[in-house]
Amino acid sequence: MLVVQKYGGSSVANPERIRRVAGRVASVRESGHDVAVVVSAMGDTTDDLVSLVKEITDSPSDREMDMLLSTGEQVSIALLAMALKELGRPVISLTGAQAGIKTDSAHTKARISEIDTSRVREEFNRGNIVVVAGFQGINQASDITTLGRGGSDTTAVALAAALKADLCEIYTDVDGVYTTDPRVVPEARKLDVISYDEMLELANLGAAVLHPRAVELAMKYKMPLHVRSSFNINPGTLVKEVENMEKALLVTGVVCDHNVAKIGLFNVMDKPGIAYTLFKALADEKINVDMIIQSAMRDERNDISFTCSNGDLKKALAVVDRLQPDIGANGYTYGEGVAKVSIVGAGMVSNPGVAAEMFEALYKEGINIDMISTSEIKVSCIINDGDAKKAVRALHKKFNLACE
């Protein structure tokens, strides 16, 4: 059997935890399986590196950011390999580049283009456990790239798919995927199984437990994932294809994303090409726009509002400033203090009224809704960030998601 395991930052946060992970990995090897282990940077290392940058510059180049942030994972692979060696296991650590992880050149949010697995396979043939640095790869110019924050999950799933692994385990600091973040709602219930579709929505909407692109890859390559805790041996959550959609829960989970900023433009001209001009310019700056609302026309004028991540707000405001005369807007506002709360569930497709129930729960808490967007399996609302926790708790209760 070939097993890929991924250990997140908290699982390798200190030497003692690294030794514990080494013990776990060694016992899998003991059973005769080939093991590739993908690791994240220790604890808050990546955040600390980002803080360090702020003391040097406000506008670091993306290439240098990748050069810096990729070092965190390099520390963990070396230490984990040393810990395994201490246990008498043959092992080798590999950076993303050494493991054949090739990406495009979109520094800080690179995408994996292919994985050349020859080196990893050679090392298996030599009897080695292979420890691979998560979150990083190499582009055609041989520059180091990173896959975006939380990207080690994606490294693990991509590697598992490329190696046609029998098992891909994602070890983290909670027992699996819950109905909502168990750190916000302690009554949250662990899900035994969740479908790729639902997991993808949860991840895209901000559930940190899995990187959205990891779920995308798992779905594409039909690679089941087992999300579980590195602190105990409890079974976690299986993320896989779930047939019987009819039986699906109405609402499977509640998510909150605090990394949201809102921009509203007033009185833009109501004529063809305005939305194109605005959103093309934002796309050219690689700004990911999420919700868009255009108000009903009055006097040949519209208001347009949209959301993006807090990190992109500065760039988005620069675009809006520049385009204001072209699109005829006579002003704009923006706010960072907003959050997006969402409910997700495959059962919503065939059940009208779920959105109304969500709005009712928010109304009963006195929470005002700023923007709404829906898809077949989710409803999202933009609200005040200060109301976010209250909203998540109310929705979790409304849809009876707590443990019995």
Is residue 172 part of the contact set for ligand ADP (CB under 6 A)?
yes
CB under 5 to 8 A by kind: which of Mg ion, ligand ASP, ligand ADP, none does 263 bind? none
Identify the residue among 95, 154, 155, 180 touching ligand ADP (CB under 6 A). 180
d(CA 47, CA 50) in angstroms, rounded, equals 5
Residues 84, 131: contact at Cβ < 8 Å? Answer: yes
Q: Which amino acid is at 361?
A: A
Is residue 176 part of the contact set for ligand ASP (CB under 6 A)?
no
d(CA 296, CA 332) in angstroms, rounded, equals 17
Q: Is 175 helix (H, G, I), strand (E, B) or coil?
A: coil
d(CA 192, CA 188) in angstroms, rounded, equals 13
Beta strand 2-7 with 34-39: parallel, antiparallel or unpaired? Answer: parallel
Distance of CA 84 to the CA centre of its chain: 29
Residues 359-378 that bind ligand ADP (CB under 6 A): none
Residues 336, 316: contact at Cβ < 8 Å? Answer: no
CB under 5 to 8 A by kind: which of ligand ASP, Mg ion, ligand ADP, none does 169 bind? none
Among 156-164, 174-182, 368-376, 394-402, the segment contacting ligand ADP (CB under 6 A)? 174-182
Is residue 253 part of the contact set for ligand ADP (CB under 6 A)?
yes
Which residues does residue 263 pair with via DSSP β-bridges, in sequence order?
306, 334
Beta strand 167-172 with 2-7: parallel, antiparallel or unpaired? Answer: parallel
Ramachandran region, residue 225 (left: φ > 0; alpha: ψ -120 to 50; beta: rest)? beta
Closer residue to ligand ADP, CB minimum distance, 278 or 343: 343
Closer residue to ligand ASP, CB minimum distance, 41 or 401: 41
Size of the site for ligand ASP (CB under 6 A): 12
Closer residue to ligand ASP, CB minimum distance, 170 or 383: 170
Find the length of the chain.
404
Residues 194-213 that bind ligand ADP (CB under 6 A): 207-209
Identify the residue among 100, 150, 151, 264 touching Mg ion (CB under 5 A). 150
Residues 66-125 that bind ligand ASP (CB under 6 A): 72
Size of the site for Mg ion (CB under 5 A): 2
Identify the residue among 150, 212, 236, 345 touching ligand ADP (CB under 6 A). 150
Closer residue to ligand ASP, CB minimum distance, 146 or 380: 146
Which residues does residue 3 pair with via DSSP β-bridges, in sequence order?
35, 167
Is residue 345 part of the contact set for Mg ion (CB under 5 A)?
no
Closer residue to ligand ADP, CB minimum distance, 167 or 292: 167
* Least distance from Mg ion to the Cβ atom of residue 123, Å: 25
* Least distance from ligand ASP to the Cβ atom of residue 293, Å: 31
Largest CA distance in the chain: 77
Beta strand 292-294 with 91-94: parallel, antiparallel or unpaired? Answer: unpaired
Closest C-alpha among 89, 91, 211 to residue 157: 211
Q: How many CB atoms lie within 10 A of CB 250?
A: 17
Instruction: Give the tokens for residue 193.
Output: 């199984």
Beta strand 253-269 with 237-240: parallel, antiparallel or unpaired? Answer: unpaired
Among 15-23, 177-185, 291-299, 364-372, the segment contacting ligand ADP (CB under 6 A)? 177-185
Size of the site for ligand ADP (CB under 6 A): 19
* Least distance from ligand ADP to the Cβ atom of residue 82, Å: 21
Q: Where does this chain bind ligand ASP (CB under 6 A)?
A: 8-9, 40-41, 46, 72, 134-135, 149-152
Residues contributing to the site for Mg ion (CB under 5 A): 8, 150
Q: Which residues bind to ligand ADP, rule: CB under 6 A? A: 8-11, 40, 150, 172-174, 177-178, 180-183, 207-209, 253
